[in-house]
Amino acid sequence: MASTLYIGLMSGTSLDGVDGVLADFSGRGIRTLDAAFTPFPADLRAELMALQAASANELEREALAANALARCYADCVRTLAAAAPGPVRAVAVHGQTIRHRPELGFTRQTNNPALLAELTGIDVIADFRSRDVAAGGQGAPLVPAFHEARFGKRGQVRVVVNIGGIGNISVLHGDGRVNGYDTGPGNVLMDLWIARHRGLPYDQDGAWAATGQVDTPLLDLLLDEPYFRQPPPKSTGRDLFHAQWLDAKLAQRPGVAPADVQATLTRLTAVTIARAIRDEAAAQAVYVCGGGAYNGVLLRDIAAALGGGIPVASTETLGVAPNRVEALAFAWLGYRFLRRQPGNLPAVTGAAGPRILGALYPA
């Protein structure tokens, strides 16, 4: 009998490292048995950040970064495999997004899954997004199908909000229907700003934002972005929301204190998420995952932007820690791949139909 144990790996837009989970799909639900985190070395993080934009000798540099990335993935896999109660059937790995241009027909998640299979001796499933893009879809977000499988509840309209570097929503209508899309910046601009001014990787619990005041004219400038008015299906990333985008907005509103900018960027994430939720459904409950779930100021801003009356909580209350959800989602997508079951939702991505996502690299 084939093993029901899978390892899921996710390294997201925040570029902090690799989140991994050991999951069991034995038929007793979707169970997380263990989790691990492998931070990126500073030089790898810097190179992955640099590869987000065109640069000299980028083909060779990407290949070398992919090799280093695969070694980080392998370290995380070894930690999880050592805790497994039996053999691991497969490793499902997202890769590191360095370009996302579905409007041009491509998305690129750098990785070396062949090397990862060689280093771990376990089958590797990778490249989950490109088949959806080939079918005319956005290739993102891919997590709504998993959110429905793990968090959906018959008769209750729930919204799952993933706040990584980019924010996205999954609207679970309680009758099997699911829709969702990328809302815009999650942590990406907040992280960029605090790194620039305070040398920190992120604003822990929104502490710095809490010392500032939201600058309403700046917020209005930030919200004046065509992406926010674009109808779904849609997806985005650092290709749009980057330092140059923010600096161009700030140039139109000079003199705002750095802490006030941080408070305003936090409010931008909250408002764009809340507007998306209100546009899509009469939500009865909102559950937040990703790194943003640990930012208390951001969660309070989302609740306030929703107008009150809608409970906003972490996915921890549904049994999955916020920092484990995406890795678990890709473990589930790997499980779906080996069962030859589709992993995308055309209503979410705009693809021509359901597609089996991923590519296999046998050990």
As a dihedral over the C-alpha atoms of residue 228, residue 230, residue 233, residue 236, rounded to 10 degrees, the angle is -50
Q: How far apart are CA 143 and CA 74, in angstroms?
A: 23
CA distance 155 to 356: 28
Identify which of 186, 250, 184, 181 has the alpha carbon closest to the alpha carbon of residue 218.
250
Domains located in the chain, CATH noted: 5-139+323-361 (3.30.420.40), 144-310 (3.30.420.40)
pLDDT of res. 233: 96
Q: How far apart are CA 85 and CA 187, in angstroms?
A: 36
Structure pTM?
0.95
What's the pLDDT score for residue 228? 98
Question: Using an 8 Å Cβ cutoff, are 159 and 169 in contact?
Answer: yes
Report which of 246, 242, 195, 185 is spatially closest to residue 218, judged by C-alpha positions.
Answer: 246
DSSP labels, 143-192: THHHHHHHH-BTTB-EEEEEESSEEEEEEE-SSS-EEEEEEEESSHHHHH
Residues of the chain with pLDDT under 70: 1
Question: Taking the alpha carbons of 351, 356, 19, 21 in that order, is the dihedral positive or negative?
Answer: positive
Mean pLDDT of the chain: 96
Q: What is the pLDDT of residues 88-122, one digit of tens each?
A: 999 999 999 999 999 999 999 999 999 999 999 99
How many CB atoms are located within 10 Å of the residue 59 CB?
A: 7
Q: Give the pLDDT of residue 29.
A: 82
- Unique residue bearing structure tokens 């979410």: 348
Q: What is the pairing mode between strands 124-126 and 96-101?
A: unpaired
